[in-house]
Structure 1
Amino acid sequence: MMTEDRYTAILEALKEKKSMTVAEFTEITGASESTIRRDLIALDDMGKIKRFHGGAKAIEHEYITNEAPVSAKAQLNVEEKSAIAKYAATMINDEDFIFIDAGTSTALMIDYIGETNATFVTNGIAHAKRLLKKNLRTYMIGGLVKPITEAIIGAEAVNSMKKFNFTKCFLGTNGIHMDYGFTTVDVEEAMVKMEAVNRSYASIVLADSSKFDKVTAVTFAAIEKACIITDRLVNDKYIDATVVKEVLR
Structure 2
Amino acid sequence: MAKAAANYVENGDVIFIDSGTITLEMITFLKNKHVTIITNSLDIIVQALPFENSNVISTDGVLERDTKSFSTYNKQNSFGKYNFDKVFIASTDVSILNGVTNSSPIESGIKETIVKGNAEVFLLVDHTRFEKYAMFTYCGLKEIDYLITDDFLNESYQD
Give the TM-score band, short-chain normalised: over 0.9
Q: Which residue of 1 aligns with 2:131?
A: 213
Instruction: Tell me the equivalent position of 1:112.
Output: 29
Q: Tell me, yes or no, if structure 1 residue 229 matches structure 2 residue 153.
A: no
Q: Name the structure where helix makes up a greater proportion of residues.
A: 1
Q: Aligned to 1:155, what secondary structure does the other structure show? A: coil
Does the 8 A contact of 1:171 with 1:193 survive in 2? yes
Corresponding residue for residue 75 of structure 1: none
Please give the alpha-carbon distance, in whole angstroms, between the structure 2 residues aligned to 1:110 and 1:143: 22
Aligned length: 157
Letter of the 2:22 partner, please give it: S
**Where in structure 2 are the equivalents of 1:16-31 lying within 5 Å?**
none
Question: Which 10-residue stretch deviates more, 116-125 or 152-161?
Answer: 152-161
- 1:192 and 1:214 map into 2 onto residues whose CA distance is 21
Quick one: which of 104, 119, 122 aligns to 1:204?
122
Larger radius of gyration between Structure 1 and Structure 2: 1
More displaced stretch, 168-177 vs 126-135: 126-135
1:129 counterpart (21, 27, 46)? 46
Give the drift of 1:157. Answer: 4.5
Highest RCO, 1 vs 2 (Cα 8 Å, sep ≥ 6) = 2
Provide the C-alpha distance between the structure 2 equivalents of 1:126 and 1:139, rounded to a whole number of angstroms.
13
Stretches of structure 1 that go unaligned for 5 or more consecutive residues are 1-83, 241-249
Aligned partner letter, 1:236:
E
Aligned pairs for 1:2-13 (under 5 A) are: none
Task: Give CA deviations for 1:142-165 in whole Å, capped at 9, x if unaligned.
Answer: 011111001111213542112201
What TM-score comes out, normalization by structure 2 length?
A: 0.93
CA contact (8 A) 1:161 1:195 kept: yes
How far does residue 96 in structure 1 lie from its aligned partner after superposition?
1.1
Task: Please report the RMSD computed on the Cα atoms of aligned residues, expressed in angstroms.
Answer: 1.2
> How many angstroms apart in 2 are the aligned matches of 1:220 and 1:133?
33
2: distance between equivalents of 1:174 and 1:159? 25
Aligned partners of 1:134 and 1:169: how far apart in 2? 20
How far does the alpha carbon of each residue in 1:22-44 deviate from its partner, in whole angstroms, 9 at most, with x for none?
Answer: xxxxxxxxxxxxxxxxxxxxxxx
Q: Distance in 1 between matches of 2:63 and 2:14?
A: 23
SS at match of 2:74: helix
Aligned amino acid, residue 141 of structure 1: T
Q: Counterpart of 1:225 in structure 2: which amino acid?
A: E
1:29-87: CA deviation from partner (whole Å, max 9, x where unpaired): xxxxxxxxxxxxxxxxxxxxxxxxxxxxxxxxxxxxxxxxxxxxxxxxxxxxxxx1111
Per-residue CA distance 1:77-118 (angstroms, 9 max, x = gap): xxxxxxx11111111001211000011110011112131222
Q: Can you list the C-alpha shifts for 1:106-140, whole angstroms capped at 9, x where unaligned?
A: 00111121312221100001111112221211100
Alignment check: 8 A CA contact 1:144 1:156 kept: no
Uncovered stretches (5+) of structure 2, i.e. residues with no partner = none
User: Identity of counterpart residues, as a percentage?
Assistant: 27
Equivalent runs, 1:33-182 vs 2, <5 Å? 84-135=1-52, 136-182=54-100
